[in-house]
């Protein structure tokens, strides 16, 4: 068989198998970050538009392909066909009909899309709306619950794991400390860019509490440098009572070890080095509550976002993950992280410059194995 025929033969065999392979690939089950299994009304609106477009697109595909195959078959060359086919130019019926058909179809797509866009961009108002500020950082997320305050006026600040109550409208007010990021929790809403110097917003509403240990996954969806792929986040959804409990726990200070106790060694290291970037709110043995670490503001034209250089660690061990939702939080991972952070996540802490607010990751602090173990022991008590 000549090479060309052999190629065509192989290609046609491949084309017979390819659809089967593609179809089977769809059976692998959905990935965790799917937008096709919405967990709230806004996610469902978006999914509804997708379903509609898929349905109409399938209809057009089948119609066009069907007509084409029919025409090819009906007007194929037959043996003894040597007369030239009838020559025609244009058909008013088909042209006007085609234009009408397209306009109707496009309208069917445009109207629900624009309506959906306007719906999900509406600013929710009222006392029941939970206001959360989001600051995107290279490469982690910071959340400030401006309505959840301790008796001394401190707001609730946490990182990377967002906790929200079910069936409550959550309005995110977002900015970035450095470059453009994009906040995306596929099950709850579409992507929204997080832009330095500007404020953008996004509404989240979740139907039901998430099972323990199975939060809704999210991801920075705008390329933002080295660890963009590891700039993840989790959304834990609670019923009202569990959410209130979580808020109370987060607002309470953690304990500062008493001098000369075993945990005090870790605290000496932590307070000398880690509080250069991380904030932590602690109650000492005299009952005095102090927030240690830098207070920083990320400014925009409209608002100043309270922020820090690294995640707030007051209740680090209440989280399942660290490193922006990338690693399971346990002693081994945390020890490796403190020992050599860039071995777990690509970062350029050598370029950090706190004076200008430029932070590109967690530095290797050169701690000894003993010092690391002491710091980890301390962090494990901050639940
Ligand atoms: Cu932040 Cu990608």
**pLDDT mean values, one per 10 residues, the chain (383 residues):** 72 80 70 90 95 94 96 88 82 91 92 92 94 97 96 95 98 97 97 96 97 95 96 97 97 95 96 96 96 94 92 96 95 96 93 92 95 97 95
Q: Which atom of ligand 1 is nearest to the CA of 231?
A: 1
| Residue nearest atom 1 in ligand 1 by C-alpha distance | 181
CATH number where 372 lies: 1.10.760
- Counted domains in the chain: 1
Residue 346 lies in a domain: yes
Nearest to 104 by CA among 60, 137, 167, 70: 60
Tell me what pLDDT residue 27 has: 67
The number of the ligand 1 atom at minimal distance from the alpha carbon of 194 is 1
C-alpha 195 to ligand 1 mean position (Å): 11
Q: Using the mean position of ligand 1's atoms as its centre, give its distance from the Cα of residue 61 in Å.
A: 36
Residue 181, φ and ψ in degrees, nearest 5 = -115, 180
* Ligand 1, CB cutoff 6 Å, lining residues: 136, 139, 181, 220, 222-224, 228, 231
| Cα 141 to middle of ligand 1, angstroms | 9
Q: How remote is the CA of residue 248 from the centroid of ligand 1, in Å?
A: 30
Nearest atom of ligand 1 to the alpha carbon of 219: 2
Cβ atoms of residues 302 and 199 within 8 Å:
yes
pTM score > 0.85 for this model?
yes
pLDDT given at position 302: 86
Question: Would you say residue 291 lies in a domain?
Answer: yes
CB-based burial label for 9 (10 Å; 0-12, 13-18, 19+): exposed
In a domain, residue 324? The reply is yes
In a domain, 235, yes or no: no
- Does 50 fall in a domain? no
CA of 122 to the centre of ligand 1 (A): 25
H helices present in 151-280, as ranges:
240-251, 264-273
Nearest-atom index, ligand 1, CA of 139: 1
How many residues are present in the chain? 383
What count of other Cβ atoms lies within 10 Å of the Cβ of residue 196? 16
pLDDT at 21: 76
Q: Can you tell me which atom of ligand 1 is nearest the CA of 136?
A: 1
Does any domain span residue 288?
yes
pLDDT for 29: 65
Does 78 fall in a domain? Answer: no
pLDDT on residue 30: 65
204 belongs to a structural domain: no
Residue ranges making up the domain that contains 334? 254-379
């Amino acid at each position: 068989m000549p090479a060309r025929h052999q190629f065509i033969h192989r290609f046609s065999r491949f084309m017979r198998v390819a659809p089967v392979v593609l179809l089977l690939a769809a059976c692998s089950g959905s990935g965790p970050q799917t937008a096709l299994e919405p967990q709230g009304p806004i996610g469902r609106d978006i999914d509804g538009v997708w379903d509609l477009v898929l349905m109409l697109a399938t209809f057009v595909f089948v119609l066009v392909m069907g007509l084409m195959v029919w025409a090819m078959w009906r007007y194929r060359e037959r043996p003894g066909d040597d007369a030239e086919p009838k020559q025609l130019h244009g058909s008013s019926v088909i042209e006007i009909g085609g234009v009408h058909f397209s306009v109707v179809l496009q309208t069917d797509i445009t109207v629900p899309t624009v309506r959906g866009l306007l719906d999900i961009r509406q600013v929710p108002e009222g006392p029941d709306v939970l206001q959360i500020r989001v600051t995107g950082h290279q490469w982690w997320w910071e959340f400030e619950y401006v309505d959840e305050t301790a008796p001394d006026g401190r707001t609730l600040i946490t990182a990377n794991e967002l906790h929200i109550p079910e069936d409550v409208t959550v309005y995110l007010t977002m900015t970035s400390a450095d470059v453009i990021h994009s906040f995306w929790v596929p099950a709850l809403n579409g992507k929204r860019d997080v832009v330095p110097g500007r404020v953008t917003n996004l509404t989240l509403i979740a139907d039901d509490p998430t099972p323990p240990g199975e939060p809704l996954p999210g991801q920075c969806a705008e390329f933002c440098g080295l660890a963009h792929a590891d700039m993840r986040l989790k959304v834990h959804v609670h019923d009202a009572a569990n959410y209130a409990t979580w808020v109370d726990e987060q607002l309470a200070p953690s304990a500062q070890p008493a001098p000369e106790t075993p945990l005090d060694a870790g605290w000496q290291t932590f307070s000398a080095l880690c509080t250069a970037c991380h904030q932590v709110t602690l109650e000492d043995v005299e009952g005095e509550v102090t927030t240690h670490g830098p207070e920083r503001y990320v400014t925009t034209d409209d608002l100043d976002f309270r922020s820090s250089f690294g995640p707030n660690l007051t209740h680090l061990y209440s989280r399942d993950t660290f490193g922006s939702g990338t690693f399971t939080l346990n002693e081994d991972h945390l020890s490796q992280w403190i020992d050599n952070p860039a071995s777990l996540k690509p970062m350029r802490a050598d370029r950090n410059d706190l004076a200008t607010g430029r932070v590109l990751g967690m530095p290797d602090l050169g701690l000894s194995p003993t010092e690391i173990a002491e710091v980890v022991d301390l962090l494990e008590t901050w639940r």
